[in-house]
Amino acid sequence: MARKLLKVKPVTVSQVAAILRSLGEENLDQFQHRTLDYASKFSKISPEASEKLLDELVKEAGLDEEIAVQIVNCMPRGIEELRVFLAGGRRIVETSKLEMILSLLDKYRGEE
């Protein structure tokens, strides 16, 4: 049965694991099983928490959704680590904004 692509949306690693689990492990092919294994091992926070954090990073910090997904996947702990994700643009990100992003991450860090 051919499947039709409805929408492309960046998702976090923990959301990938949740999506694959929802399909039922017995229904997954070899590639999907490997992806589920990887996603389960490398998820930093729960799918629910990652969705909330992603929403906050986009709305409160004004980040692009794709960059926000990468930040949630890695959960950087310091300003220098965080700068790596934001270095692609030509503009300089203020330290106060970076600190605000880190405080959002810290809110959800307890689940690591």
Q: Domain coordinates of the chain in residue numbers?
A: 13-42, 47-111
Q: How many residues does the chain have?
A: 112
Q: Using H for helix, E for strand and C for coil, what is the string for 2-61? A: CCCCCCCCCCCHHHHHHHHHHHCHHHCCHHHHHHHHHHHHHCCCCHHHHHHHHHHHHHCC
With b meaning 16 or more CB within 10 Å and e meaning fewer, what string describes 8-28? eeebbbbbbbbebeeeeeeee
Per-residue pLDDT tens, the chain, 112 aa: give them.
677 888 889 999 999 999 999 999 999 999 999 999 999 999 999 999 999 999 999 999 999 999 999 999 999 999 999 999 988 766 678 899 999 999 999 999 875 4
> ∠68-87-38 over CA atoms, to 5°?
45
Q: Are 38 and 30 in contact (CB under 8 A)?
A: no
- What's this model's pTM, rounded to 2 decimal places? 0.87
CATH of 47-111, one of 1.10.150.80, 3.40.640.10, 3.40.50.12170, 3.40.50.1370: 1.10.150.80
Residue 63 has what pLDDT?
Answer: 94
Q: Give the Cα separation of 16 and 106 in Å (integer).
A: 22
Predicted confidence at residue 97, as pLDDT, reads 93
